[in-house]
């Protein structure tokens, strides 16, 4: 039996750590993590000067519901392992812990480096947008993709 690596909770855990590492102490909701991760993976579709890390995929917007479930599971695992911290203030907000930073800084693959570069740009682009605003932009892109 082969362990599932791609589209797994483990893969999502790694990407969340990379995303939160680039957030410079930011505290994000699950919705924001889902949205920023999605845009990071498909940055070319959101007018960022990078290629899509996960390639061209006409079904990418269909990934959103599954991605949310993966993020929820990954966040639970990361909190349990002590890699991310949770703050409760009118909702749950997650940030990377010192232990999570130390672990994430060990990721040296070309993918990890590219993900971090793109994530930094995505975080900067959407820093003033609400979670709902970012999700609405993704939905807008999804609707436009159906018209093409």
How do residues 97-120 score in pLDDT, each as one tens digit? 999 999 999 999 999 999 999 999
Q: Calculate the CA 76 to chain-centre distance.
A: 15
> 67-72, long-range: CB within 8 Å, 24+ apart, which pairs?
67/12, 67/34, 67/37, 67/38, 68/30, 68/31, 68/34, 70/7, 70/8, 70/9, 70/12, 71/12, 71/16, 71/30, 71/33, 71/34, 71/37, 72/30
Q: What angle do CA 118, 58, 122 make, to 5 degrees?
A: 15
Instruction: For residues 70-89, give the mean pLDDT.
Output: 97
pLDDT tens digits for 8-61? 899 999 999 999 999 999 999 999 999 999 999 999 989 898 988 876 776 666
pLDDT-derived band of residue 94, with 50, 70 and 90 as boundaries? Answer: very high
pLDDT-derived band of residue 144, with 50, 70 and 90 as boundaries? Answer: confident
pLDDT-derived band of residue 130, with 50, 70 and 90 as boundaries? Answer: very high
pTM listed for this prediction: 0.91
End-to-end CA distance of the chain: 40
Domain layout of the chain by residue ranges:
9-147
pLDDT-derived band of residue 1, with 50, 70 and 90 as boundaries? Answer: very low
Instruction: For residues 62-76, give the mean pLDDT.
Output: 89
């Amino acid at each position: 039996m082969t362990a599932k690596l791609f589209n797994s909770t483990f893969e999502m855990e790694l990407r969340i750590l990379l995303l939160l590492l680039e957030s410079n102490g930011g505290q994000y909701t699950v919705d924001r993590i889902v949205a920023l991760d999605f845009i990071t993976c498909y940055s070319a579709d959101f007018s960022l000067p990078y290629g899509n890390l996960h390639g061209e995929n006409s079904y990418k917007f269909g990934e959103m519901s599954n991605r949310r479930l993966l993020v929820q599971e990954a966040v639970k695992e990361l909190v349990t392992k002590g890699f991310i911290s949770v703050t409760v203030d009118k909702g749950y907000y997650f940030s990377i812990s010192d232990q999570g930073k130390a672990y994430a800084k060990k990721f040296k693959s070309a993918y990890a480096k590219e993900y971090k570069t793109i994530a930094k740009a995505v975080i900067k682009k959407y820093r003033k947008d609400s979670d709902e605003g970012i999700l609405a932009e993704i939905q807008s892109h999804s609707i436009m993709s159906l018209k093409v």
